[in-house]
Amino acid sequence: RCSSTSAKPNLTDTITINNKTFKRDDYTNITDKIVCLAQKSLHTTPHHPISLVRQRIVNYFYKTFLNSRRNPLFSVYDNLSPIVSLAQNFDSLLIPENHPSRLKSDCYYINREYLLRAHTTAHQAELIRAGLDNFLIVGDVYRRDEIDSKHYPVFHQLDAVRLKTKDQLFSCENDLKLFDCDDTACIPGGPTKQRCHTFEAFKLMEHELKTTLVGLAKELFGNQVRYRWVDTSFPFTQPSWELEVYYNNEWLEILGCGIMMQSLLTNVGVNNRIGWAFGLGLERIAMCLFKIQDIRLFWSNDSGFLNQFKDDDLKSPIIYKPISQHPQCIHDISFWLPEDKTDSLSFCSNDFYDLVRNVAGDLVEQVLLVDQFTHPKSGKKSLCYRIIYRHMERTLTNAEVNEVHQLIECAASDQFGVTIR
Ligand code: FA5
Ligand code: MG
C-alpha cells in the first residue's frame, strides 16, 4: 500500500527555508508543506485580496497621521523575514517561559533557537531599539491549529506601534507628566493602568488608540459598523482590549491592542515615551469585506478567484462570487495509539492535522476528531478522525481520494507508530 515516500518525515539533519539552512533538533516540527508556504508573499502580491486589505489599512494610517511637514508619520515594514528567534517572538515581549503560546503543539519550530513567527509583534522591540516611534509591520504568521474554513496554518497580521513623548502628548505648555514613579514592575496583563503611568497620560493614550481603531473599522466596514470593546490580556500590553465588530449576525474579533508595558520600552533603552500598540488579522477582514467563505481560497492559483480582485479603485466594493462548489468526499480514519502514547502530551491532534496537511495539502477542507475510546481491559486508546475532502476548483474522483487517504494512513503508522483499525 505504501508506494510513495512523499509522506515520510524528512530525515536529513538540516532544513532549508527561504535559502537559509538550519540544524534540526528535538524541537523541529515544521513540515515541508509549511516551508513551501513560507515562500509566497500574498500580502505584497498585486491585486491579491490580502494585499488590498493591507493597502486600505496603510492608506488610512498615511492620511490620519501626518508630521509637521504634512508627510505620513508611520513607516511600513512588510518585508521582514518570518524566521525569528525565540528571543524575538517571546522574550522581547515579556512572554514568560511557561506561557502556553510557546508550546510545541502551537508553534512551528525550526529548532530550539528559531521558529516561524507566531505574530508580527515579534519585530516590535527591535524596531523600537532602532529608534522608530511610529511604524506598521505586515507579514505572514504561523500557528499550528485545527483544520476548517476559518483556520489555516499561515495567516497575515498587521501590527502598529505609536510612541509619544511628554511634549507630543500634552501639546500645550504645562506641568503634566507621563510618569508617576520609576516602578515599571507591574503584574503583566492586569486590567488596570500600569502603576508608573500618570492617569492623564494613560487616558490620553487610551483615547487616541481607541479613536484610531474605531476610525479604521469605519473606514473598512462603513460608518454604520457596530462594534464593542472587550477586556483581555497580553503579556506585552496593560491594559489590553479586543475590538469586535458585528458582522453576519455574530461578533467577530478583529484585533488585540493595549498600552505597551513600560518595562518592554525600558528594556530597549526608551525612558521618555509612552506607547500604544495593536495587532490585527488580515484574513478575517478580507473574508468579511469580500464575502470569501473559505480561507483556503487565499492560497488558490485559480484565475477565477484572483481575477475578481483586479480593480484599480481600492475603495470599490468587491463581493467575491464563489466558483461553483464541488462535492465533498468524506472518509474516516481510526487507529490505536501505541501503548506508550496514550496520554494527551505525547500525541496531540495538531500533530495529526499537520500530517494531513503535509500529505493532502489543500484537498482537505476539514478534519474533525469524531470519537475517542479506551479499551476497558487492555487500556489501549483508539481515535477516529473524519477527513472531509473537497477541491476548490474541480470534482475529486473516488480513486484519487482513496489514494490520498491511504497515504495518510501509511504516514500516520510510520510517523506515530499507530495501528490502523
Ligand atoms: C496577537 O497576535 C497579538 N500579538 C496582538 C497584539 C499586538 C496585541 C500588539 C497587543 C499589542 P491574537 O492572537 O489575538 O493576538 O491575534 C490578533 C488577531 O489576529 C486576532 O484578533 C485575529 O484578527 C487574528 N487571528 C488570530 N488567530 C487567527 C487565526 N487562526 N486565523 C485568522 N486570524 C487570526
Ligand atoms: Mg485574540
329 belongs to a structural domain: yes
Quote the ipTM score: 0.99
373 belongs to a structural domain: yes
Q: Is the pLDDT of residue 388 over 80?
A: yes
* Rounded-to-integer distance, Cα 392 and Cα 404, Å: 16
Question: What pLDDT sits at residue 189?
Answer: 62
Q: Is the pLDDT of residue 10 over 70?
A: no
Contact status, residue 41 vs residue 54, Cβ threshold 8 Å: no
Question: What pLDDT sits at residue 3?
Answer: 37
- Check whether residue 265 and residue 378 sit in a common domain: no
Residues around ion ligand 2, judged by CB within 5 A, are 256
- Check whether residue 261 and residue 386 sit in a common domain: no
Ligand in closest contact with the CA of 118: 1
21 belongs to a structural domain: no
* Rounded-to-integer distance, Cα 290 and Cα 318, Å: 6
User: Among the atoms of ligand 1, which is closest to the Cα of residue 280?
Assistant: 18
Ligand in closest contact with the CA of 119: 1
- Check whether residue 379 and residue 265 sit in a common domain: no
How far is ligand 2, taken at its centre, from the CA of residue 11, in Å?
A: 35
- Check whether residue 38 and residue 109 sit in a common domain: yes
Domain final residue pick, 297, 332, 350:
297
pLDDT band at 300 (very low <50, low <70, confident <90, very high): confident
Q: Range with the lowest mean pLDDT among 11-25, 112-126, 306-320, 362-376? A: 306-320
Q: Is the pLDDT of residue 412 over 90?
A: yes
1 belongs to a structural domain: no
* Rounded-to-integer distance, Cα 199 and Cα 153, Å: 41
Return the exposure string of 146-181: e unless at least 16 CB atoms fall within 10 Å of the residue's CB, then b: ebeeeebbbbbbbbbbbbbebeebbeeeeeeebbee
Ligand 1: which residue has its CA nearest to atom 9? 278
- Within 117-181, strands assigned E span 134-142, 154-165
Question: What pLDDT sits at residue 312?
Answer: 62
- Check whether residue 243 and residue 388 sit in a common domain: no
- Within 269-363, strands assigned E span 273-281, 329-336
Contact status, residue 34 vs residue 154, Cβ threshold 8 Å: yes
Contact status, residue 401 vs residue 329, Cβ threshold 8 Å: yes
Mean pLDDT of 38-60: 93
- Check whether residue 134 and residue 251 sit in a common domain: yes
Mutate to test the pocket of ligand 1, among 37, 94, 253, 299 (most ligand atoms within 8 A of CB): 253
105 belongs to a structural domain: yes
Range of the domain at 358: 324-420
Residues with beta carbon inside 6 Å of ligand 1?
Answer: 119, 121, 143, 145, 151, 155, 157, 159, 234, 237, 253-258, 277-281, 283-284
Number of domains in the chain: 2
Domain final residue pick, 262, 297, 332:
297
Mutate to test the pocket of ligand 1, among 107, 157, 250, 297 (most ligand atoms within 8 A of CB): 157
61: part of which helix (H) or strand (E)? helix 49-64
User: Among the atoms of ligand 1, which is closest to the Cα of residue 256?
Assistant: 8
Mutate to test the pocket of ligand 1, among 54, 92, 103, 121 (most ligand atoms within 8 A of CB): 121
Look at residue 72 and give its three-state secondary structure.
Answer: strand
* Rounded-to-integer distance, Cα 96 and Cα 113, Å: 16
- Check whether residue 378 and residue 278 sit in a common domain: no
Question: Residue 102: is it exposed, middle or buried by C-beta count within 10 angstroms (0-12/13-18/19+)?
Answer: middle
143 belongs to a structural domain: yes
- Check whether residue 293 and residue 343 sit in a common domain: no
Q: How many residues does the chain have?
A: 421
Ligand 1: which residue has its CA nearest to atom 21? 255
Ligand 1: which residue has its CA nearest to atom 25? 281
* Rounded-to-integer distance, Cα 322 and Cα 293, Å: 8
How far is ligand 1, taken at its centre, from the CA of residue 282, in Å?
A: 10
Ligand in closest contact with the CA of 254: 1
125 belongs to a structural domain: yes
- Check whether residue 258 and residue 362 sit in a common domain: no
Pick the closest to residue 49 from 320, 231, 257 (CA basis): 320
Q: Is the pLDDT of residue 186 over 60?
A: yes
User: Among the atoms of ligand 1, which is closest to the Cα of residue 253?
Assistant: 21
Ligand in closest contact with the CA of 234: 1
How far is ligand 2, taken at its centre, from the CA of residue 418, in Å?
A: 34
Instruction: Read off the CATH number of the domain in which 268 is found.
Output: 3.30.930.10
- Check whether residue 228 and residue 365 sit in a common domain: no
* Rounded-to-integer distance, Cα 402 and Cα 397, Å: 9
* Rounded-to-integer distance, Cα 18 and Cα 40, Å: 10
Mutate to test the pocket of ligand 1, among 57, 119, 158, 287 (most ligand atoms within 8 A of CB): 119
How far is ligand 1, taken at its centre, from the CA of residue 280, in Å?
A: 6
Question: What pLDDT sits at residue 342?
Answer: 65
Contact status, residue 328 vs residue 404, Cβ threshold 8 Å: no
Instruction: Read off the CATH number of the domain in which 350 is found.
Output: 3.30.70.380
pLDDT band at 345 (very low <50, low <70, confident <90, very high): low
Ligand 1: which residue has its CA nearest to atom 33? 281
345 belongs to a structural domain: yes
pLDDT band at 340 (very low <50, low <70, confident <90, very high): confident
pLDDT band at 199 (very low <50, low <70, confident <90, very high): very high
Mean pLDDT of 323-346: 81
Residue type, 201: A
* 54-61: long-range contacts, CB 8 A cutoff, minimum separation 24: 54/78, 54/138, 54/156, 54/158, 54/282, 55/314, 56/219, 56/220, 56/314, 56/315, 57/136, 57/158, 57/216, 57/220, 57/280, 58/136, 58/138, 59/314, 60/215, 60/216, 60/219, 61/136, 61/160
How far is ligand 2, taken at its centre, from the CA of residue 255, in Å?
A: 7
Residue 207 neighbours by CB distance under 10 Å: 10
- Check whether residue 285 and residue 332 sit in a common domain: no
- Check whether residue 141 and residue 230 sit in a common domain: yes
